Amino acid sequence: MKLSKIASILGCDFQGKDIEIVGMNTLKDAEENEVSFVSNTKYVKDIESTNAAAVILSENLADKLSVDCVALFTKNPYWSMAILSKYFAPPIEDDTLPSPVIGTNCSISAKAEIANGAVIGKNCTIMAHAYVGAEAIIGDNTIIYPSVTIYRDCVVGEECIIHANTVVGSDGFGFATNKKGEHKKIYQNGNVVIENDVEIGSNVSIDRAVFGSTMVKKGTRIDNLVQIGHNCEIGEYSVLVSQVGLAGSSKLGRNVVMGGQAATAGHLEIAPFSKFAARSGITNTIKVPGKTYAGFPLMDHRAWLKLQAKLARLIK
Amino acid sequence: MKLSKIASILGCDFQGKDIEIVGMNTLKDAEENEVSFVSNTKYVKDIESTNAAAVILSENLADKLSVDCVALFTKNPYWSMAILSKYFAPPIEDDTLPSPVIGTNCSISAKAEIANGAVIGKNCTIMAHAYVGAEAIIGDNTIIYPSVTIYRDCVVGEECIIHANTVVGSDGFGFATNKKGEHKKIYQNGNVVIENDVEIGSNVSIDRAVFGSTMVKKGTRIDNLVQIGHNCEIGEYSVLVSQVGLAGSSKLGRNVVMGGQAATAGHLEIAPFSKFAARSGITNTIKVPGKTYAGFPLMDHRAWLKLQAKLARLIK
Amino acid sequence: MKLSKIASILGCDFQGKDIEIVGMNTLKDAEENEVSFVSNTKYVKDIESTNAAAVILSENLADKLSVDCVALFTKNPYWSMAILSKYFAPPIEDDTLPSPVIGTNCSISAKAEIANGAVIGKNCTIMAHAYVGAEAIIGDNTIIYPSVTIYRDCVVGEECIIHANTVVGSDGFGFATNKKGEHKKIYQNGNVVIENDVEIGSNVSIDRAVFGSTMVKKGTRIDNLVQIGHNCEIGEYSVLVSQVGLAGSSKLGRNVVMGGQAATAGHLEIAPFSKFAARSGITNTIKVPGKTYAGFPLMDHRAWLKLQAKLARLIK
């Protein structure tokens, strides 16, 4: 889409070269043919160094922008970004894509649906009522149980097992809100990448990224009814017990273990080999690896035990 | 069904005009051709003013009933109501209903199932393995992702998006229990109504009402793995983050925001623009709009922060 | 499989009679043609009395074993057990099994999938996109809503109702972990048995047992989005409210009631008629029947109320 068209969609003036824009991205990750945005003061520092062709921002940030980069001034850049995201959303399915490619020795149920553009590896089992979306890729020897839904563009590695009724790639929970309290959807144009040797339980939800990929790394084990928000990153060999919830953009190091119903707030990092007791509530980044925590607010596991002992004494 | 038949099913005496009864309802909402019941002292006040043709109640409440209303005396009115509810349950599917009506320009997967009596608007996308039940209505421009199940009689508005494997209209958790501890199902003969511009994540459960409708109002955003009990009402533009649980008959005003894993007890009301931190546990009605809460038991958000600071000092 | 083959798979020496082994089991439940293992000091006491043909164990426990029983010494018996479990896993589906047997007067959707070897009783309703696996058994008058997945070998009783998108028999969360932090799947070769008159909500996950059966007994009511781990046992007429989570091997007596989001740790027993407030966290066995609890850590319900009152005073 031409930059002039984007300016027209957002109702803003446009000055500069009218290049072709192929997508949207964060300031940090945007390439020369992408448009970006600033809606959070936290990211103002990234304006100067962005490679984006154009940036949607409020007028008061004008002087931060490099001369090569086109400014698209709007009153509510986050809302503008939401409006624009719809134009870059691919169709849910696409009949013009080639028929799916199925590897040798697969068992694909006649009652499964494999969309055009999908690629299935060798020796895969794809059971009844499973759905594999457009341009999704499934690696060799992977088992997809009944009623699993893999959305378009998502990638599942080799030797994976995904249990029944799990969803990979549903839209992240993203929207802008205006002063009237109305919401505008931010189309989630990223995907989910699940590496090799991952087992995922039943009724799990893993959301696709708004930009880039939600990542589940090699060897991870995910139990039933777990929520993984958009743009999360789960380190290798991590273990997420049933009903765990990860808010968007949580980054877990390798071999992190989270007990049942434990949860994270968004946009934080957890050091490798951290362990969390059931129902831990993690609201801050954890930098030191290998420790054990409990409680909400989160504390060292021993401190939590001590606190509970103190509280028990309170009522005696 | 004739009133005499109902009396016979419940094994109780019957005096009065033997009129045709078309349904069951609460004392407050029952019309002249419906039967109601009293099983909770909280509702005794509604007996006098009910329009119900007949009321199932215990003998000691006889004098509360107006002369126009037929009394159906039983030992356990709630159990009796449960027994009777089965007789008013429509069939799950019904071949005698007309073929579904599909609007123009829809994309309906050959692997979706649209039951007889359903009505689908214009420009809808209904993907593989989705199910739209008898007499369900789907508004224009709505997208139903794979393996979504919409039970019979439910209504979904225009411009809605329902993500994969979500269930709209499963039975509310209703049953009577006798002295032996056995349970008797209360058939859930209401429905779910989702208004326009609502987006619902994956693996969500929204239960149908026992009578009337579970309501999700215009512009609401619901994340993954959320539970909405029977007869809940979610106000316009509300936001329910992942793993929220609403017990039956919770009424949320507009623009209520509930953080991840927050939950309500049943039968309470929450004022508009209330905000709840993740894992809040709401057990009482909130009348003042626009405040922010946290904790379980619930408290003002700042009080919760203060309490956590005090507790942290306890273990030092 | 011959015992010599097993020894060869595990890379251990083998002395004794080379009998045919038909399965794996716990020390306590193993029969004369099964192999067992010891990986937890808690079970060392069961070695002497086991009927297993052979036991995988570490060399230092050699003297505990009866002379009739073959010792299979390995460095990491749990890891060895995981390796071996794959060899005893039946195929997910099996075309050589007979066509499914369907009772009279059933309504089975053409869009449901009933695997070979399954047996469906009389008067059952099995809706679109439901899946009933190999050798699964469904009792008379049972209703299976859309997109329910019943894995192979599972048993559902008579007069049951299973709501949409629920999963019965997904693999329990079982794996061994080595010193590098890598995980090895323990194949879950047991099943799930649901007795008569059980109603299960939507989006529920009930895991199959590793050995033996996960049990849901007669008359139980399970709400939406509930997690039931492998080898759990739910007593008759129990009530599990939405988003409850039961860790593996929890044994509930009859008429246990768990409020919303309540959860158990694994391997504990709960006395009959126990009641738990919403969000209770149960980490120990409860031996006295009929009491009411709350909180995490769990305490008597009145003690919890008292504690909350004390805490409220702390911040005044």
Q: Kindly list the residues of chain C whose beta carbon comes within 8 Å of any beta carbon in chain B.
A: 107, 109, 111, 125, 127-129, 143, 145-147, 161, 163-165, 199, 201-203, 219, 221, 223-225, 237, 239, 241-243, 254-255, 260-261, 273, 278-279, 308, 311-312, 314-315
- On whether the CB atoms of residues C246 and C263 are closer than 8 A, the answer is yes
Nearest CA in chain A to B237: A182
In this structure, the answer to whether residues B259 and B113 fall within a common structural domain is yes
Average pLDDT, chain A: 96
- Tell which residue, A243, A292, A160, A218, has the closest CA to residue C181: A218
pLDDT in tens, A154-190: 999 999 999 999 999 999 999 999 999 999 999 999 9
pLDDT in tens, B29-82: 999 999 999 998 889 999 999 999 999 999 999 899 888 899 999 999 999 999
> Do the domain assignments include residue A95?
no
Res B264 pLDDT > 90: yes
Q: From CA B206, how far away is CA B221, in angstroms rounded?
A: 13
> Distance (Å) from the C-alpha of residue B167 to the closest C-alpha of chain C?
7
In this structure, the answer to whether residues C46 and C163 fall within a common structural domain is no
Res B114 pLDDT > 90: yes
Average pLDDT, chain C: 96
* Residue C288 burial by Cβ neighbours in a 10 Å radius (0-12, 13-18, 19+): exposed
Residue C281 confidence class, pLDDT cut points 50, 70, 90 = very high
In this structure, the answer to whether residues A150 and A116 fall within a common structural domain is yes
Using a CB-CB cut-off of 8 Å, the residues of chain C touching B303 are 315
In this structure, the answer to whether residues B72 and B208 fall within a common structural domain is no
Q: What is the mean pLDDT of residues B82-93?
A: 97
Give the percent of chain B with pLDDT over 70. Answer: 100
Res A59 pLDDT > 90: yes
pLDDT in tens, C239-256: 999 999 999 999 999 999
Residue C35 confidence class, pLDDT cut points 50, 70, 90 = very high
Question: Which pLDDT score, from 0 to 100, does residue C37 have?
Answer: 97
Q: From CA C226, how far away is CA C203, in angstroms rounded?
A: 8
> Do the domain assignments include residue C249?
yes
> Do the domain assignments include residue B155?
yes
Q: What is the mean pLDDT of residues A238-247?
A: 98
In this structure, the answer to whether residues A53 and A126 fall within a common structural domain is no
In this structure, the answer to whether residues A127 and A171 fall within a common structural domain is yes
Question: Which pLDDT score, from 0 to 100, does residue A195 have?
Answer: 98
Is the CB of B111 less than 8 angstroms away from the CB of C111?
yes
Residue B255 confidence class, pLDDT cut points 50, 70, 90 = very high
Q: Residue C22 is part of which domain span?
A: 3-88
Question: Which pLDDT score, from 0 to 100, does residue B3 have?
Answer: 96
pLDDT in tens, A84-133: 999 999 999 999 999 999 999 999 999 999 999 999 999 999 999 999 99
C230 assigned to active site:
yes
Average pLDDT, chain B: 96
* Tokens representing residue C130 in the block: 């439901």
Is the CB of A170 less than 8 angstroms away from the CB of B202?
yes
Q: Of B107, B129, B199, which has the smallest distance from its Cβ to A147's Cβ?
A: B129
In this structure, the answer to whether residues A150 and A226 fall within a common structural domain is yes
Question: Which pLDDT score, from 0 to 100, does residue B9 have?
Answer: 97
Question: Which pLDDT score, from 0 to 100, does residue C16 have?
Answer: 85
Q: What is the DSSP letter of B24?
A: E
Res C66 pLDDT > 90: no
Chains near A with 3+ CB pairs less than 8 A apart are: B, C
Residue A41 confidence class, pLDDT cut points 50, 70, 90 = confident
Question: Which pLDDT score, from 0 to 100, does residue C316 have?
Answer: 79
In this structure, the answer to whether residues A80 and A111 fall within a common structural domain is no
Question: Which pLDDT score, from 0 to 100, does residue A14 have?
Answer: 86
Q: Give the dihedral of Cα atoms A120, A122, A128, A134; nearest 10 deg.
A: 0
In this structure, the answer to whether residues B84 and B205 fall within a common structural domain is no
> Do the domain assignments include residue B251?
yes
pLDDT in tens, A137-150: 999 999 999 999 99
Total domains in the fold of chain A = 2
Question: Which pLDDT score, from 0 to 100, does residue B47 have?
Answer: 94
Give the CATH number, domain containing residue C59: 3.40.1390.10
Question: Which pLDDT score, from 0 to 100, does residue C314 have?
Answer: 86
Q: What is the mean pLDDT of residues B192-206?
A: 98
Is the CB of B279 less than 8 angstroms away from the CB of A265?
no
Question: Which pLDDT score, from 0 to 100, does residue B308 have?
Answer: 95
> Distance (Å) from the C-alpha of residue B115 to the closest C-alpha of chain A?
18
> Distance (Å) from the C-alpha of residue A66 to the closest C-alpha of chain B?
37
DSSP structure string for B131-170: EE-TT-EE-TT-EE-TT-EE-TT-EE-TT-EE-TT-EEEE
Using a CB-CB cut-off of 8 Å, the residues of chain C touching B260 are none
Q: What is the ipTM of this complex?
A: 0.97
Res B316 pLDDT > 90: no
Question: Which pLDDT score, from 0 to 100, does residue B68 have?
Answer: 87
Question: Which pLDDT score, from 0 to 100, does residue A190 have?
Answer: 98
Q: From CA A281, how far away is CA C80, in angstroms rounded?
A: 35
Is the CB of B296 less than 8 angstroms away from the CB of C279?
yes
Q: Of C183, C203, C207, which has the smallest distance from its Cβ to A219's Cβ?
A: C183
Sign of CA dihedral A55, A59, A61, A64: positive
Q: Kindly list the residues of chain A whose beta carbon comes within 8 Å of any beta carbon in chain C.
A: 107, 109, 111, 125, 127-129, 143, 145-147, 161, 163-165, 199, 201-203, 219, 221, 223-225, 237, 239, 241-243, 254-255, 260-261, 273, 278-279, 308, 311-312, 314-315
Question: Which pLDDT score, from 0 to 100, does residue C280 have?
Answer: 98
In this structure, the answer to whether residues B167 and B230 fall within a common structural domain is yes
In this structure, the answer to whether residues C58 and C146 fall within a common structural domain is no
Res B14 pLDDT > 90: no
Q: Which residues contact A140 (CB under 8 A, 6 or more apart)?
A: A103, A121, A122, A123, A124, A158, A159
Using a CB-CB cut-off of 8 Å, the residues of chain B touching A245 are 225, 242-243, 260-261
In this structure, the answer to whether residues C231 and C274 fall within a common structural domain is yes
Give the CATH number, domain containing residue A119: 2.160.10.10
Using a CB-CB cut-off of 8 Å, the residues of chain B touching C312 are 297, 299
Question: Which pLDDT score, from 0 to 100, does residue B270 have?
Answer: 98
pTM above 0.90, yes or no: yes
The position carrying tokens 């921002």 is: A57
Q: Of A129, A173, A296, which has the smallest distance from its Cβ to B241's Cβ?
A: A173
Question: Which pLDDT score, from 0 to 100, does residue A115 have?
Answer: 98
> Distance (Å) from the C-alpha of residue B105 to the closest C-alpha of chain A?
15
User: Phi/psi of residue C37, each to 5°?
Assistant: -160, 160
